[in-house]
Amino acid sequence: MVVPSRSPVRLALPAFRVLGVLLAAGTPIAARPALAQSAKASAPIPAATLALMQARGTTASAPVLFRAYKRESEIEVWKRAAGGRFVHVKTFPICRWSGQLGPKRKTGDRQTPEGFYTVPQRQMNPNSSYYLSFDVGYPNAYDRAQGSTGSAVMVHGVCSSMGCFAMTDGVVGEIYAIAREAFAGGQAAFQFQSYPFRMTAQNMARHRTDPNIVFWRQLKEGSDRFEALGEEPAVGVAGGRYVFAPSKDPAKEALVAARRNAEEARIASLVEEGSAAVRTTYSDGAQHPFWAALAAKGTSLGDVSRPEALAYAGQEVVVIAARPRPVQVAEAVWSRWIAPDSPLSRTRMPGFVPAHEQAGSRFAPLVATYAQTWPRLVGLTLSGALAPPDFGLSPGTVSAKAPVEVVAQR
């Protein structure tokens, strides 16, 4: 993962330097705020990030796509490469998100939303009160179909969240620049994918009892399609659920089907093997360890929302305990353990005689399953080879065969 190498305070300095130049040049006071806003909104993409793009076969003007993961507290940047596939370029740590895993439902619930969102250029805000920002587009068609309410869910600066993705000023400045250059290159809108966690088979198996699992399976379907093809999924809503348009290329659709089948089989296998089922809970969202480590060293992150809640972030409650897997011992190993010349074969308690070395019992011919023992007992008794059982009957009152016959009739 690529993380900022400088503190968020330093990353935000270029705009203030520009403001200092404006002051020195005698720029009218009324024009200075607007010019400072323009400066931060037009800051270039860092050279190191441009080098990463070049190494991945893409450019600053190529279409962009963002993927956010709440549990991991990360936002990934993906750019379309020359071959047509989106490639991963960089990962940014989220300084603060709020709420629990799961979709946003209503205004004021502090939930950071999950789903597939579209961000056109008009949703970019260079005049944000949180340095720079863009509106992710909540509520989308799916959210409205669920009756969800709320608005103005942003990816923005600072480190305070009430349902947004707070990135710090420096990080959001770079994200903003990446999106701005994609728009300048002709992209009409970019897709913003928001997930509860990385949509792996392991995570789906672990969260299989969560109340949101049906919704998360829809998100995984879109995620698998993107992973299989490297193309932005065409997202729609039908019957109150996400749907994804199939590829026009049968070969590509076969790749999607193969990945979906492999992932479903892997989830089923994990459950069958006894994978634990958990609920991941939060007091109020979380923060990436990168920012927590900086704060622990004394670096100021500015205004951090509900810092006391971070101590209770990501607590796992075990709903179904993992079933221990039996240890498989190769036959070549256990056969040596029980061999007569093995040291283990002579490590016994005093007086202990293994069953295979014990003398045969005189009752051994009669001892079998119940279904076999009773008919053999009757047969031996009737043939006279075995004395009939004594049922307390007076001698001479019944023949030797009678007791067996009586018992058999019972």
Which amino acids are annotated catalytic? Answer: 156, 164
Q: Which of 44, 46, 50, 22 has the alpha carbon at shortest distance from 35?
A: 22
* Unique residue bearing structure tokens 């990945």: 259
d(C-alpha 205, C-alpha 233), whole Å: 24
* Unique residue bearing structure tokens 């990353």: 11
* Unique residue bearing structure tokens 């993927």: 67
How far is Cα of residue 116 from the mean position of the Cα atoms in its chain? 17
Do residues 112 and 70 make contact, with C-beta atoms less than 8 angstroms apart?
yes
303-to-42, 47, 95, 300 alpha-carbon distances in Å: 25, 29, 11, 9
Tokens of 161: 């969240």
Count CB neighbours of 399 within 10 A: 10
Q: Count of alpha carbons within 13 Å of 147, Cβ hemisphere only?
A: 0
Do residues 266 and 201 make contact, with C-beta atoms less than 8 angstroms apart?
yes
Q: Sheet of 133-135: strands edge to edge?
A: 124-125, 133-135, 154-156, 165-166
Q: Where are the alpha helices (DSSP H) in 136-243?
A: 141-145, 169-184, 201-206, 213-229
Show Cβ contacts of residue 244 under 8 Å, excluding neighbours closer than 6 positions.
221, 222, 225, 233, 234, 235, 236
Identify the three-state secondary structure at position 339.
coil
Identify the three-state secondary structure at position 226.
helix
Q: What residue type is assigned to position 170 of the chain?
A: G
d(C-alpha 371, C-alpha 373), whole Å: 6
